[in-house]
Amino acid sequence: MSARTRIPRARWAAVRLFAMDVDGILTDGTIGVSASGAEIKFFSVLDGMGLVRLGRAGVATAWISGRASTATSVRAAELRIPHLIQDRPDKLEALRELAGRLGVPAVNCIYMGDDDIDAPAIRWAGIGVTVPTAMPPAAAAAGYVTSRAAGLGAVREVCDRILAARGAARAR
């Protein structure tokens, strides 16, 4: 575990909204473009299963991307991600609007991102998360850094922490 600070289990258990960037979090940040111009992205099945399990547990999930992508839309639909926000480079504004609509205070939100434009949202959320390869502003804003890489189970790591904390909270 690469946690910068120790985040109490109760804070993980209280999460009601897990929002994240797409490129560099759900993917390794690489975008493929075919000869026909079609965009190709690779998403981790591990991350997908974690997001499905979170949804079943009643935690809202959201993808907030600074750019629009058909590949992102297709994968979000497959996973039934309830909140897909694209072409919104101001991640903080998008996250605050969504949290407000859902009635979720910042303390009950996680935001996970890896780039400069993610840093304000990472800082605003009750738990700010990034990956080991994050750009310096995102890394400085985060309270938790995953041990797994972007696009290779980093999102699943966070999902599992939330679910484990919720299980422990229920067991008490």
Total of domains in the chain: 1
Stated pTM of the model: 0.93
Classify residue 64: in a domain, yes or no: yes
What is the pLDDT confidence band of residue 1, given thresholds at 50, 70 and 90? Answer: very low
For residues 133 and 29, give the distance between their C-alpha atoms in angstroms, rounded to a whole number. Answer: 10
Residue 5: pLDDT over 70: no
Pick from 71, 109, 70: nearest CA to 92: 109
**For 130-148, what is the mean pLDDT?**
97
153: left (phi over 0), alpha (psi -120 to 50) or beta: left
- Whether residue 1 is contained in a domain is answered as no
Domain assignment of residue 152, yes or no: yes
Would you say residue 2 lies in a domain? Answer: no
**What's the pLDDT band for 168 if we cut at 50, 70, 90?**
low
List Cα–Cα distances, 47 to 6, 70, 115, 161, in angstroms. 23, 19, 19, 13
Identify residue 13 by its one-letter amino acid code.
Answer: A
Q: Check which CATH number belongs to the domain holding 74 and give it.
A: 3.40.50.1000
Residue-wise pLDDT for 74-123, tens only, equals 999 999 999 999 999 999 999 999 999 999 999 999 999 999 999 999 99
Distance CA 112, CA 66 (A): 14
- Give the model's confidence band at 169: pLDDT under 50 very low, under 70 low, under 90 confident, else very high: low
What single-letter amino acid sits at 31? I
In a domain, residue 101? The reply is yes
**154-170 mean pLDDT:** 89
155 in a structural domain: yes
Q: Examine residue 29 and state whether it is found in any structural domain, yes or no.
A: yes
Residue 6 is predicted with a pLDDT of 84
Query: What pLDDT shows up at residue 28?
Result: 95
37 part of a folded domain: yes
Averaged pLDDT for residues 134-149: 97
Structural domain span for residue 25: 9-171
